[in-house]
Structure 1
């Protein structure tokens, strides 16, 4: 051994002992803690501990699913890393409701849209909270459906919404009724 090595060996040995005393978790042979999408982790190992402890947290708009803290001992993690799942806000559906009524839904959760009587779903009835915090497919709408054979009622309803006073509505309905009677006479 060279004289320079002999002089530096005690310093290296002392540095190694100090490192182990200061960071005993370096003795744990676990690889880097697993990273997670939409979240982060930090080392929360106690001082002079021979275990590595990692604490996970999620970004805003995501919720932690699994153990928030995992520990490494004997070269193994105590459990898999948790996941950060997206949160979707409750969709607003005019003239309809959801099969599960909550303020927020977790990623991959399905809900079914149910329309009020007389209204039908336009679009797919079942939607899913997706990873990017939106509903997939697009949130459907509830639209009034005209019962079969009620076209005249629909036309009369639209007419009533356009006219300013009841007398005009009455006159328009009388004219509409007269036009329907004329159409029937043409078929005879």
Structure 2
């Protein structure tokens, strides 16, 4: 290069010309990174790189669903922007369980968070034998981190014909716990003793 050209075009000028040659306008420029609800992004691009690198993160209480890092080259993003979804704590069901994995994990910043579910995820409640679901059986994790509809309960479902059973083998079938059977037998024994005293 002639000394004349060097004098009129310093190093930064040469770098600009090189940039235009390697990455002409319209080929490497992307629109602004897509914003996401309940989240944020940071530009992690290198100064000398012709690729835009964006890293996404979520606000507290939300987890990232999708790729945390997207890049722009030739006017296109490598993938759609991720979403920040709310997380719901696993509902505790007495005398029942959930139809999905009880040790559900969600990923947040490469850290596994146990006993959590993410927004839009459905779970189904299954009651233990002898118990019935009171309320909706299927519930959904909502965008505000709560379950909808309200978490149901599992209540003892007395089989037909058990209302007036006091003795016999049906006691085992009609009562949920062995200690309940013992208590009923003791009450029944006491009622017989009272009846005998009344007859005297």
Q: CA offsets per residue over residues 47-88 of structure 1, 9 Å max, x none? A: 122221110011223221221111112222111101122221
Supply the distance in 1 between the matched residues of 2:117 and 2:75 (Cα, whole angstroms).
37
Asked if 1:83 is matched to 2:83, the reply is yes
Distance verdict in 2 for CA 1:50–1:60, change over 3 Å:
same
> 1:27-38 residue pairs with structure 2 within 5 A?
28-38=28-38
For residues 100-134 of structure 1, give each alpha carbon's deviation from its aligned partner in whole angstroms, at most 9, with x where no partner exists: 11211122222111111111000111112222111
CA distance in 1, matches of 2:61, 2:193: 58
Alignment match, 1:110: 122
Q: 1:73 to 1:170 in 2, by over 3 A?
A: same
Cα distance change of structure 1 residues 104 and 167 upon mapping to structure 2, 3 Å threshold = closer
Cα separation, 1, equivalents of 2:91 and 2:193:
43
Give the helix-richer structure, 1 or 2: 1
Q: Which residue of 2 aligns with 1:137?
A: 149
Equivalent residue runs for 1:97-176 within 5 Å: 97-100=97-100, 101-102=102-103, 103-153=115-165, 170-171=189-190, 173-174=191-192
In structure 1, the partner of 2:108 is none
Superposed, 1:19-58 pairs within 5 Å as 28-58=28-58
What are structure 2's unaligned runs of at least 5 residues? 1-8, 104-114, 167-174, 196-200
DSSP 3-state at the match of 2:164: helix
Aligned residue-pair number: 154
Cross-structure match for 2:65: 65
TM (norm. structure 1) is 0.67
Give the 3 Å change call, closer, same or farther, for CA 151–167 of structure 1 in structure 2. closer
Q: 1:167, CA displacement in angstroms?
A: 7.3
Between the aligned partners of 1:49 and 1:175, the Cα distance in structure 2 is: 94
Q: Distance in 2 between matches of 1:142 and 1:68?
A: 40
RMSD between aligned residues: 3.7
Q: Take 1:43 and 1:133, find their aligned partners in 2: how far apart are those partners?
A: 29
Stretches (4+) displaced over 6 A: 166-169
2-structure distance, mates of 1:150, 1:95: 20
Q: Counterparts of 2:33 and 2:139 in 1: how far apart (Å)? A: 35
Q: Which residue of structure 1 aligns with residue 6 of structure 2?
A: none
